[in-house]
Amino acid sequence: MQCQIKTLAENTAGMPGIIGEWGFSALVKGDGMTVLLDTGAGNGIISNAELLGVDLTKIDKIVLSHSHFDHTGGLRQVLLKTGKEIEVIAAPDLWAEKFSVRGGKKRRYIGIPYTRPELESLGARFTLTQEPIKLTENMMTTGEVPIVTDFEKVGEDYLLAKVDDGYQVDKFPDDRALIVKTDVGLAVILGCAHRCLINTLYHAQKLTGVKQIHTVVGGCHLVDASEERIKKTIAALKDLDVKKVGVSHCTGLRAGAMMAAEFGDEFFFNMAGTSVTVP
């Protein structure tokens, strides 16, 4: 089976006319299914889709990797554009209150910017679960990703979730990815990989029973990672024999550059406008 991944929103623009914005969105086609993973922050997805020849009315399902605004901010615009009822798959705590306090600045809300009733009035039909969901015979979500590696850290001091008695470091139980089984191995599409890149890939192997991971695309959340962790991540990717690595968004330039040096032609910067076909 073949899979096509077209990035509609990302920090950087990969071609003239494309809008770059902090966030991520990818259109994934395979097995007769068209899935939109995330919607960016909402500033560029409609314009970028039109420029790339993407008909958003053809989307079958929407998957949200997590609730941050830069992955959910375009949801309202997408629903208005599709003009139909559509299943939106996400974690149960999609409306958990999330905040950033980076750089000692005042606490800032960074969760989904819309209410459930508003989105439902536009056609969203939410499926909220921590479990993996099989979309087709060869395409599924990861559900909640377990932590099994000893070198990957979940959560940063500046990313918080509101709890009854205050705020705590967000451990991102809502984080999930999309997995596609192709003829040459798995394609794993990440939103931010807040539950960590290698953890997510191991989970994808376990869920599918497929050892070979061919392509990894999306945000790897290594922007704040130490050099040691980045090196261990690269070593793990090589041990997994990943054939293509296309990083985006929150991966960070240092981690991206280190990956590029190690993977050579197997590496690419996955910008808005990038299209990848596997195999």
| Domains of the chain, CATH where assigned | 3-278 (3.60.15.10)
Residue 103 banded pLDDT, cuts 50, 70, 90: confident
**Cα four-point dihedral sign 177, 7, 228, 262:** positive
* Contact status, residue 39 vs residue 81, Cβ threshold 8 Å: no
* Contact status, residue 76 vs residue 119, Cβ threshold 8 Å: yes
Burial of 32 (0-12, 13-18, 19+ CB in 10 A): exposed
* Contact status, residue 66 vs residue 172, Cβ threshold 8 Å: yes
Distance from chain centroid for Cα 245: 14
* Contact status, residue 65 vs residue 172, Cβ threshold 8 Å: no
Please report the pLDDT score of residue 105 as a whole number: 75
Continuous segment of H or E residues that includes residue 215? strand 213-219
Q: Tokens in use for 53?
A: 């020849």
Backbone φ/ψ region at 267: left (φ over 0), alpha (ψ -120 to 50), beta: beta
Q: At CA 223, angle to CA 115 and CA 34, rounded to 5?
A: 50
CA–CA distance, 22 with 133 (Å, rounded to integer): 28
Does 104 score more than 90 pLDDT? Answer: no
pLDDT > 90: what percent of the chain? Answer: 97
Task: Report in angstroms the alpha-carbon separations of 218 from 30, 107, 135, 251.
Answer: 17, 27, 20, 8
**3-state SS, residue 173:** coil
The mean pLDDT value of the chain amounts to 97
* Contact status, residue 179 vs residue 204, Cβ threshold 8 Å: yes
Q: What is the pLDDT of residues 61-102, one digit of tens each?
A: 999 999 999 999 999 999 999 999 999 999 999 999 999 998
**3-state SS, residue 31:** coil
Mean pLDDT over 45-62 rounds to: 98
Q: Tokens in use for 239?
A: 């041990």
Residue 165 banded pLDDT, cuts 50, 70, 90: confident
Does 148 score more than 80 pLDDT? Answer: yes
Q: What is the pLDDT of residues 207-263, one digit of tens each?
A: 999 999 999 999 999 999 999 999 999 999 999 999 999 999 999 999 999 999 999
**3-state SS, residue 120:** helix
Does 123 score more than 80 pLDDT? Answer: yes
Pairing of strands 159-163, 98-100: antiparallel
